[in-house]
C-alpha cells in the first residue's frame, strides 16, 4: 500500500492536522469564497478533496449527492472523520472513489451531467504528477494537460481553487500580510499580468524564486478570480487562486 503520492497521502494529512491554526485564516477565506459559488444543481463532483481539510462541511451539506475522487488511499477515512457526521445528519448521499479523476474526467462528467464540478486544490499539483520532473517536457506536458481539462469542461458549471505560485517569504512582512485576499480580473495582456502578480507577491512578502504551478491559464482573460495567501509553512507560502466558471 502506497503511503503517499506526490501531492497527497499520510504526510499531507499529518501536515494539515498540525497546521490547522496557521491555515485557519485561509480556510475561513475559502469558506467565504465558496459562499459566493451558487450551484445550479444538487449534485457535486468533488476532485482532489483529500480529507477536505480546508473545506467547510456547511457548504457541502447543501448538496443531495456528492461523488468524491482522490488518489489517496487514506483520504476517505479522514474525510469521513471530518465531514461524515454533518453530511449524514443533513441527509447527503456521498461516495468516495479512489482513482485518477483527471484521467477519467470525460466519463465522470458524463456520469453526472448536471453536477457542479469542483477541483479542490488539485490542478496546481499536476506538474508533480508528470514523469519528467523539473524539465521543459514537464512544463509543456502539464500546460497541455491543463488546456485539455479546461476544454473538457466547456459548457459545464465548474470551480477550482489551486496553487498559482509558492515560495519563501520574509516572515515579518508575511505576518503583517495575513489574512490577505484580493479579487481581481485575469488580464489579457502579459505585461499587465506580470504587474498584478508582482504587486500581489509584494503583499505576501515573497523572497527569492517562487515555484510556478503552471495554472496561469486555467482561468480565461476577463474571468473574476480571488487570490488568497496560504501560509503553508511559516516561511514558505502558497498563492492560491479561486474562480468559478458558469455554464
Ligand atoms: C493539496 S491536496 C488537496 C487538499 C484538499 N483539498 C483538502 O482540503 O484537504 C491535493 C489532493 O489531490 C489529490 N490528487 C492529485 N492528483 C489527483 C488526480 N489526478 N485525481 C484525483 N485526486 C488527485 C491528491 O491525492 C491530494 O489528496
pLDDT for res 177: 67
pTM above 0.85, yes or no: yes
pLDDT at 179 over 90: no
Distance 5 CA to ligand 1 centre (A): 9
pLDDT for res 173: 72
- Percent of the chain surpassing pLDDT 70: 96
Distance 172 CA to ligand 1 centre (A): 31
Is residue 167 within 8 A of residue 207, CB to CB? The reply is yes
- Percent of the chain surpassing pLDDT 90: 83
**Mean pLDDT value of segment 104-128:** 97
Asked if residue 242 has its Cβ within 6 Å of ligand 1, the reply is no
Is residue 72 within 8 A of residue 5, CB to CB? The reply is yes
pLDDT at 2 over 60: no
| Mean pLDDT estimate for the chain | 93
pLDDT for res 170: 86
pLDDT at 38 over 80: yes
pLDDT digits (tens, 9 = 90+) for 224-247: 999 999 999 999 999 999 999 998
pLDDT for res 199: 93
pLDDT for res 175: 72
* Residue ranges making up the domain that contains 21: 4-245
What would the grid cell of residue 61 be? 451539506
Which CATH number fits the domain that encloses residue 84?
A: 3.40.50
What confidence category does residue 1 fall into, taking pLDDT thresholds of 50, 70 and 90?
very low
Please tell me the total count of domains within the chain: 1
Whose alpha carbon is nearest atom 13 of ligand 1?
48
Task: Using the atom order of ligand 1, give the atom closest to the CA of residue 50.
Answer: 27
Asked if residue 55 has its Cβ within 6 Å of ligand 1, the reply is yes
Q: How many CB atoms lie within 10 A of CB 12?
A: 19
Amino acid at each position: 500500500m502506497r503511503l503517499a503520492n506526490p501531492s497527497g497521502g499520510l504526510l499531507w494529512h499529518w501536515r494539515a492536522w498540525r497546521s490547522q491554526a496557521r491555515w485557519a485564516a485561509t480556510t475561513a477565506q475559502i469558506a467565504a469564497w465558496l459562499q459566493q459559488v451558487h450551484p445550479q444543481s444538487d449534485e457535486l463532483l468533488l476532485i482532489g478533496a483529500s480529507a477536505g481539510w480546508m473545506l467547510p462541511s456547511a457548504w457541502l451539506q447543501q448538496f443531495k449527492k456528492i461523488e468524491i475522487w482522490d488518489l489517496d488511499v487514506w483520504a476517505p477515512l479522514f474525510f469521513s472523520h471530518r465531514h461524515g457526521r454533518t453530511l449524514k445528519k443533513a441527509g447527503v448521499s456521498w461516495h468516495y472513489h479512489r482513482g485518477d479523476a483527471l484521467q477519467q474526467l470525460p466519463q465522470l462528467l458524463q456520469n453526472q451531467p448536471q453536477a457542479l464540478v469542483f477541483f479542490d486544490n488539485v490542478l496546481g499539483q499536476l506538474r508533480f504528477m508528470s514523469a519528467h520532473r523539473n524539465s521543459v517536457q514537464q512544463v509543456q506536458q502539464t500546460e497541455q494537460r491543463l488546456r485539455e481539462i479546461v476544454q473538457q469542461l466547456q459548457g459545464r458549471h465548474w470551480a477550482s481553487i489551486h496553487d498559482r505560485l509558492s515560495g519563501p517569504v520574509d516572515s515579518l512582512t508575511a505576518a503583517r500580510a495575513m489574512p490577505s485576499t484580493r479579487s481581481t480580473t485575469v488580464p489579457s495582456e502579459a505585461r499587465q499580468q506580470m504587474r498584478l502578480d508582482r504587486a500581489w507577491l509584494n503583499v505576501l512578502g515573497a523572497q527569492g524564486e517562487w515555484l510556478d504551478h503552471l495554472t496561469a491559464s486555467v482561468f480565461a482573460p476577463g474571468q473574476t478570480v480571488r487570490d488568497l495567501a496560504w501560509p503553508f509553512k511559516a516561511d514558505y507560502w502558497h498563492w492560491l487562486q479561486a474562480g468559478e466558471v458558469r455554464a
